[in-house]
A and B are shown apart, each in its own frame.
Chain A
Amino acid sequence: MTTSTDTTQRGSAPQPGGTRKNSLTAGQMPRWTWIAVAIGALVLAAGLTALLGGGSFSWTGWLIFAAVLYIVGMYVTTYAIENKRRATDGIWRNLVWAAFILALIPLVSVVWTVFANGLPTLLANPQLLWTDMGGVTGADDIATQNEGASLQGGFLHGLAGTLMITLMATIISVPIGLLTSIFLVEYSRGGWFSRSIVFFVDVMTGIPSIVAGLFAFAVVELFITTFIGESPRHVQMIKMGLTAAIALSVLMIPVVVRSTEEMLRVVPNELREASYALGVRKWRTIFKVVLPTAMSGIASGITLAIARVTGETAPILVTAGYAAATNWNPFSEWMTALPVFIYRQLMNPTAPAAGLPSADRAWAAALVLIVIVMLLNLAARIIAKAFAPKKTGR
């Protein structure tokens, strides 16, 4: 972008710093304009901040003022020296850059906060990974905070809960999701039924996670009160790992359907026809030709869906209860998932008067959770890349 159509007609315009006249570069700002404007903006912003701040100098305020002044200054300068079109182009380029930098601040801050708070705790207390909160009382935390005793407890029960609940949800969602997308791509011929499935899968994508939790709770409640009993002991049974897994399935199924559907649709029709022409039945064609061809994409989509539900908190909060001890059985007793553990430790610390140990545990758990989710995402990318069928490489 060194030329603009207008400048060619303005060959006689003054040319600062140029030794030779060139009709293509005439009427342009010198290269150093942006540096000059930037310095001007920084100085002016410093003055403004000091004036408005009334004694105390705010660094954040200074940077914000400087950025605004720079963008406005560049626009005015370009308008004056070059023309309006280039000035407009420039202001939008600067705004796009500003948006990028502005967005980086909170996102970097989130990651930094988790690492800065979680990593030291986790390194100093690796036992957090293999102990649970069974037997840990407020007195222990008060001792940790006030007398420097070592940090008690851990989140093994959260890891166990997350693993079991996610596993159950995957077992429920993957077959339903896979079969539905196979139905949509391979069997349906665009009738009202398949159109309504597509529509409702879209609706399901938008179900708020907490509503999915309420739904799972209501379903299991109805099932238990109808078929097992209505006593408080039975009502207690509603909250278990399986209920949470049902809630997560409601969130997971549409993700699996959409990603699998997309992957099946890119399998070339020629492969299906080749198989049919060999006298292979449709279901065998789907199993042995279509699915293997799309497998890497499907597996990566499923991994992403797992990553998504692993981080869900709200639906598990209302369906699985909150336990302090490790529970590996998703069919009975309350279960704690890692996100719920983080939430509970932050909102209701084990020792209300001494919240720091609980916060430490929560941040360590948050770090572990982020690492798990990121690893799943990474795995999805690797699966998609490594197991993709070889393209026509010669």
Chain B
Amino acid sequence: MTETATEPAKRSSLTASRGGAAGDKVFSGLALAAGVIILMVLAFVAIFLVVESLPALWPEVFSDEESIESADTFWQYVWPLMAGTLIASIIAILLATPVAVGIALYISHYAPKSVATPVGYVIDLLAAIPSVVFGAWGMTTLAGGVVPLYKWLHEYLGWIPLFGGDAGNTGRALLTSAIVLAVMILPIITSLCREIFIQTPKLHEEAALALGATRWEMIRMTVFPFARAGIISSIMLGLGRALGETMAVTLVLSPGIFSWSIITSGRNATIPSEIALNFPEAFGMRQSELIAAGLMLFIITLVVNMIARWIVNRHKEFSGAN
């Protein structure tokens, strides 16, 4: 107003220009550009991975060689790796989920407040421990500790193919990697679940308690229905993390060919650890093979994450989470 008051009386004070209009355009343009960059980065991730994988996927067409280096066809090379990745991640999820949901319930509904707050804080800090540290722990401490268990499993449950192989003395088997993965994703699933559990409407909980429900009945009646989609999506996010986790597996597992036995060292491998172990020295066709394996991993995690989102969206209307 101070500026417009001095304008000649004839001109409309409303159309008088005020500084800064250009700033609006520039800044909204910048914000838009940042969004575009993100979309481009993702498109590039996909395109680059595909382009660099092509020589391995169709060696006859996209390279000078007849076939890939490590096997006759790419699928022959990659399926044991995919199987190893999936088996390790699924075992990790099966081990971690009940415990994680239990701790989340412990923090949100069982522990006294003076215990729950520090425990929640510690869980958050544990989620931040670098994966290489978990890997180092699994390699030195855990692998040695599980050998008696593996021997016992082989002796008494050896008729199950999973425990069919010889247990060995190092313990650096796929199951050990899966346990490390489980420990790693435990804090992640726990903190996600806890967030959802404590959002359960207090009114619902009190209504259930007022009807004479025990604490467990109250949890089953109010907390779980409210949190179901959230639990599933946090499990899926944990699965996504386990699938892509590299260091915990690379340091723990002594890799080898595919085998149903998950307690034998020198068997099985996962895609991330295969890449981490071999990429630094790879070139040419071998590099393409590894990038193609990375592409497979990317697709698997993409599918898992999309399923997680789909579940969350489908249940949104019922959970009352919004």
A interface list, Cβ under 8 A from B: 1, 4-5, 58, 85-86, 88-89, 92-93, 95-100, 102-103, 106-107, 109-111, 113-114, 117, 175-180, 182-184, 186-188, 193-194, 196-197, 199-212, 214-215, 218-219, 222, 250, 253, 257, 279, 281-284, 286, 304, 307-308, 310-314, 317-318, 321-322, 339, 342-343, 346-347, 359, 362-363, 366, 369-370, 373-374, 376-377
Tell me the minimal C-beta distance from B266 to chain A in angstroms: 16
> Does B201 have its Cβ within 8 Å of any Cβ on chain A?
no
Q: How many residues of B contact A (CB 8 A)?
A: 91
Query: Which of A111, A204, A210, A317 is B42 in contact with, Cβ under 8 Å?
Result: A204
User: Cα distance A193–B105 when bound, in Å?
Assistant: 38
Contact with A along B220-249 (1 / 0, CB 8 A): 000000000000000001001001111100
The answer to whether B247 touches A96, judged by C-beta atoms less than 8 angstroms apart, is: no
Contact of A209 among B21, B125, B244 (CB under 8 A): B244
Q: Which residue in A175, A207, A284, A363 is a CB contact (below 8 Å) of B136?
A: A363
Complex A-B: 12 CB contacts under 8 Å: A4-B212, A93-B110, A110-B137, A187-B32, A206-B237, A207-B45, A207-B244, A208-B297, A307-B128, A343-B251, A346-B139, A347-B251
Which residue of chain A is the closest to B141 with respect to CB atoms?
A113
Min CB–CB distance A281 → chain B (angstroms): 5
User: In the bound complex, how far is the Cα of B116 from the Cα of A364, in angstroms?
Assistant: 32
Residues B214 and A286 in contact, CB atoms below 8 Å apart: no
Contacts of B272 in A (CB 8 A): 208, 210, 314
Stretch at the interface among B5-13, B68-76, B164-172, B301-309: B301-309
Contact for A219 among B44, B133, B247, CB less than 8 A: B44
- Chain A nearest CB from B63 CB (Å) reads 16
A102, A199, A208: which has the most chain B beta carbons within 10 Å? A208
Query: Is the CB–CB distance between A211 and B124 below 8 Å?
Result: no
Q: Is the CB of A314 within 8 A of B246?
A: yes
A283 touches B28 (CB 8 A): yes
| Minimal Cβ-Cβ distance residue in A for B275 | A210
Q: Is the CB of A311 within 8 A of B28?
A: no
Minimum Cβ distance to chain A for residue B149 (Å): 9
Given contacts A207-B45, A373-B130, 20 further A-B contacts (CB under 8 A): A86-B214, A88-B216, A93-B215, A99-B100, A103-B99, A103-B103, A106-B179, A107-B126, A113-B141, A183-B32, A197-B35, A206-B302, A208-B301, A214-B49, A215-B49, A282-B28, A283-B20, A283-B27, A321-B280, A346-B136
B255 CB-CB contact with A under 8 Å: no
**Nearest Cβ on chain B to A43's Cβ, whole angstroms:** 23
Q: How far, in whole Å, are A4 and B218 apart by their CA atoms in the complex?
A: 13
B34 and A250 contacting across the interface, CB-CB below 8 Å: no
Known: A281-B20, A339-B132, A343-B132. A211 touches B103 (CB 8 A): no
Q: A211-B297, A362-B136 are in contact. Are A322 and B280 (CB under 8 A)?
A: yes
Given A187-B28, A211-B49, A250-B41, check contact A206 B131 (CB 8 Å): no
Question: Which 8 pairs, one residue from A and one from B, show the smallest C-beta to C-beta distance?
Answer: A208-B244, A99-B102, A311-B130, A179-B34, A183-B31, A89-B214, A314-B246, A206-B305
Alpha-carbon gap, A305 to B52, bound state (A): 29
On whether the beta carbons of A366 and B132 are closer than 8 Å, the reply is yes
**Which residues of the other chain, B, contact A214 by a CB distance below 8 angstroms?**
49, 52, 275, 279, 290-291, 294
Among A102, A180, A308, A359, point to the contact of B35 (Cβ < 8 A): A180
- By a CB distance below 8 angstroms, the chain B residues around A175 are 34
Cα A175 to Cα B135 in complex, Å, equals: 33
- Contacting pair A176 B141 (CB below 8 A): no
Which residue of chain B has the shortest Cβ distance to A92 in the bound complex?
A: B216
Could you tell me if A183 and B35 are in contact, using CB atoms closer than 8 angstroms? yes
- Which of A117, A179, A359 sits near B31, CB closer than 8 Å? A179
Cα–Cα, bound, A286→B244 (Å): 37
Contacts A102-B99, A311-B129, A343-B135 known; A211 to B244 CB distance under 8 Å?
Answer: yes
Contact A100 B102 (CB under 8 A): yes
Identify whether the interface residues of B are mostly helix, strand, loop, or mixed.
Answer: helix
Residue on A nearest B96 in the bound complex, by CB: A103
Report A-chain residues with C-beta under 8 Å of the C-beta of B240: 206
B160 contacts the other chain (CB 8 A): no
By the criterion CB–CB under 8 Å, are A110 and B38 in contact?
no
CA of A206 to CA of B140, assembled, Å: 29
Closest Cβ of chain A to B144, distance in Å, is: 11
CB interface residues, B 22-78, toward A, < 8 Å: 23-24, 26-28, 30-35, 37-39, 41-42, 44-45, 48-49, 51-52
Q: Which residues of A contact B173 (CB under 8 A)?
A: none
**Chain B residues numbered 177-192 whose CB sits less than 8 Å from any CB in chain A:** 179, 183, 186-187, 190
Given contacts A85-B214, A211-B49, A281-B20, contact A110 B297 (CB under 8 A): no
Question: What chain B residues lie within 8 Å of A253 (beta carbons)?
Answer: 38, 41
Closest CB in chain A relative to B17 CB, distance in Å: 12
Q: How far is the CA of A217 from the CA of B279 in the complex (A)?
A: 11
B101: chain A residues within 8 A (beta carbon): 99
Q: Which one of B35, B119, B125, B297 contacts A194 once the chains associate, using CB atoms below 8 Å?
A: B35
Closest to B124 in A: A377
Smallest CB–CB gap between B142 and chain A, Å?
A: 8
CB-CB under 8 A from B214, the residues of chain A are 1, 4, 85-86, 88-89
Partner of A308, one of B44, B128, B139, B183: B128
Q: B163 interface residue, CB < 8 Å from A?
A: no
**Is the CB–CB distance between B42 and A370 below 8 Å?**
no
A370 touching B276 by the CB < 8 A rule? no
Cβ of A110 and Cβ of B247 under 8 Å apart?
no
Could you say which residues of chain B place their CB within 8 Å of the CB of A96? Answer: 102-103, 105-106, 110
B278 to chain A, nearest CB (A): 10
Partner of B49, one of A218, A317, A373: A218
Q: Is the CB of B294 within 8 A of A211?
A: yes
Q: Which of B237, B291, B302 contacts A203 (CB 8 A)?
A: B302
Q: Of the candidates B24, B45, B49, B279, which one forms a contact with A318 in the assembled complex, judged by CB atoms under 8 Å apart?
A: B279
Question: A284 CA to B28 CA in the complex, in Å?
Answer: 11
Q: Which residues of B contact A207 (CB under 8 A)?
A: 45, 244, 298, 301
| Inter-chain contact B35/A210, CB cutoff 8 Å | no
CB pair B34 A107 closer than 8 Å: no
CA A97 to CA B306, docked complex, whole Å: 33
Give B270 Cβ to nearest chain A Cβ, in Å.
10
**Residue of A98, A317, A347, A362 contacting most chain B CB atoms (<10 Å):** A317
